[in-house]
């Protein structure tokens, strides 16, 4: 939970998603209610039961963005993070041209899986090709902290930097930790967010085995929902102490006012509404917000049979009568469930709602479910004032992280 003290401004954002490169491409797709879920592109697709996914377009070419010395060091997960970080830092207008500024700048990036593409490729060489020697860069590409380290190296940032791994809550946990660093006075600026790229044969087979994947599309909160749809991408943000941003004339995109973090301490998979209630309540209290101050909740909304009713009950418990006046939507219906990157992609949606007064919809919504009885902004974006918003992330393992934001 953010402790009282310095205010937190968000001054830059960047993204790579199934909508393509750039935060604007992501936001425009979401506000249009366009789903980027499409047939799975994979060399072994015919051997898989997975039929659909939200994948970064084939037009993404890492050789365009990274030189021949850098690219061999980068798993796809790190490539996404670096590209999103470039966009966020450029929008923030930051220049680190003094040693003291670099010491006061940190990096915290979350990922649920890490360098899965590197792991998968090297496992294929080891077990399918009987290779006796693997790529010597396997460890530095695959390690979960590689995206954080690569961003730190790219900008020469020497403040406290680390990776965060908490499954589907990784992004929100990373952003919360970034805010804590600023509030604690350990940094003035933190580059933070989440990244994921795990469309390997082994990962897809593992997800198939869980039997939580939809075979058509993602329909959060809809009565005919059939499960989640995997996605990939990255979202990266520049967080600054408000006084630091104001001193250099930066214009905040929004203010991060609070966070809430909790653990269900129960089932490794099944969600417990009590954990979600605790995280949302903490975020409101931490941000000095009454339930009535919030106009929009970007829901975790995976489209699974278990998550959606559980989250609905939690929202009702936290917001009481005001729950019926909330706009609630799940943008996973459009950019897919990008696991450790999901919260970061969803923060782009929340920032868009706060800045433009447009709430992105829950796409693919067809029939109401009596167990899911909130206003899910079905299929079409809604123009409405958004003063404050919550962004929910609830992970396997019962790990919960919620961000509270206000219009700047």
Positions annotated as catalytic residues are 168, 300, 337
Distance from C-alpha of 86 to C-alpha of 109, rounded to nearest angstrom: 14
Residue 133: φ, ψ to 5°: -140, 130
CA–CA dist 220, 330 (Å, integer): 7
What is the biggest distance separating any 2 CA atoms in the chain, rounded to whole angstroms? Answer: 64
Residues in contact with 174: Cβ distance below 8 Å, sequence separation at least 6, in sequence order: 108, 109, 110, 163, 164, 192, 193, 194
Angle at 372 between CA 368 and CA 374, to 5 degrees: 90
- Encode 334-371: b = buried (16+ Cβ within 10 Å), e = exposed: bbbbbbbbbbbbbbbbbbbbbeeebbbbbbbbeeebee
The span from the CA of 354 to the CA of 339, in Å, is 24
In whole angstroms, how far apart are CA 68 and each of 65, 155, 350, 356?
10, 18, 36, 40
Helix (H) or strand (E) holding 346: helix 342-356
Per-residue DSSP letter, 321: G
Cα–Cα distance for residue pair 346/37, rounded to 1 Å: 16
* Residue that the structure tokens 């994948």 belong to: 55
């Amino acid at each position: 939970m953010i402790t009282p003290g310095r205010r937190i401004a968000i001054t830059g954002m960047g993204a790579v998603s199934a909508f393509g490169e750039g935060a604007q491409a992501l936001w425009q797709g979401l506000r249009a209610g366009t789903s980027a879920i499409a047939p799975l592109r994979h060399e072994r697709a015919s051997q898989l039961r997975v039929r659909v996914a939200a994948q970064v377009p084939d037009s993404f070419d890492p050789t365009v963005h990274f030189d021949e010395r850098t690219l061999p060091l980068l798993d796809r997960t790190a490539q996404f993070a670096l590209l999103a970080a470039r966009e966020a830092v450029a929008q923030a207008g930051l220049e680190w041209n003094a040693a003291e500024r670099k010491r006061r700048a940190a990096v915290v990036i979350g990922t649920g899986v890490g360098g899965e593409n590197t792991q998968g490729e090297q496992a294929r060489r080891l077990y399918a090709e009987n290779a006796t020697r693997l790529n010597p860069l396997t460890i530095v590409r695959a390690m979960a902290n590689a995206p954080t380290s690569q961003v730190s190296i790219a900008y020469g940032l020497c403040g406290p930097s680390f990776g965060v791994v908490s499954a589907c809550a990784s992004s929100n946990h990373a952003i919360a930790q970034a805010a804590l660093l600023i509030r604690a006075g350990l940094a003035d600026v933190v580059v933070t967010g989440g990244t994921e790229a795990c469309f390997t044969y082994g990962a897809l087979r593992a997800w198939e085995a869980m039997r939580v994947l939809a075979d058509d599309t993602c329909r959060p909160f809809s009565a005919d929902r059939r499960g989640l749809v995997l996605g990939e991408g990255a979202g990266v943000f520049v967080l600054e102490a408000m006084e630091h941003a104001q001193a250099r004339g930066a214009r905040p995109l929004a203010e991060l006012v609070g966070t809430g973090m909790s653990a269900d301490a129960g089932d490794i998979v099944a969600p417990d509404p009590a954990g979600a209630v605790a995280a949302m309540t903490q975020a409101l209290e931490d941000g000095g917000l009454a339930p009535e101050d919030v106009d929009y909740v970007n829901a975790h909304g995976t489209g699974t049979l278990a998550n959606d009713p559980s989250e609905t009950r939690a929202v009702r418990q936290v917001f009481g009568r005001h729950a019926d006046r909330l706009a609630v939507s799940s943008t996973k219906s459009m950019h897919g469930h990008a696991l450790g990157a999901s919260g970061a992609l969803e923060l782009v949606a929340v920032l868009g709602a706060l800045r433009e007064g447009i709430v992105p919809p829950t796409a693919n919504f067809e029939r109401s479910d009596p167990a899911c009885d909130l206003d899910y902004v079905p299929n079409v974006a809604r123009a409405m004032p958004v003063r404050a918003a919550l962004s929910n992330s609830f992970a396997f393992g019962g790990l919960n992280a919620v961000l509270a934001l206000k219009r700047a």
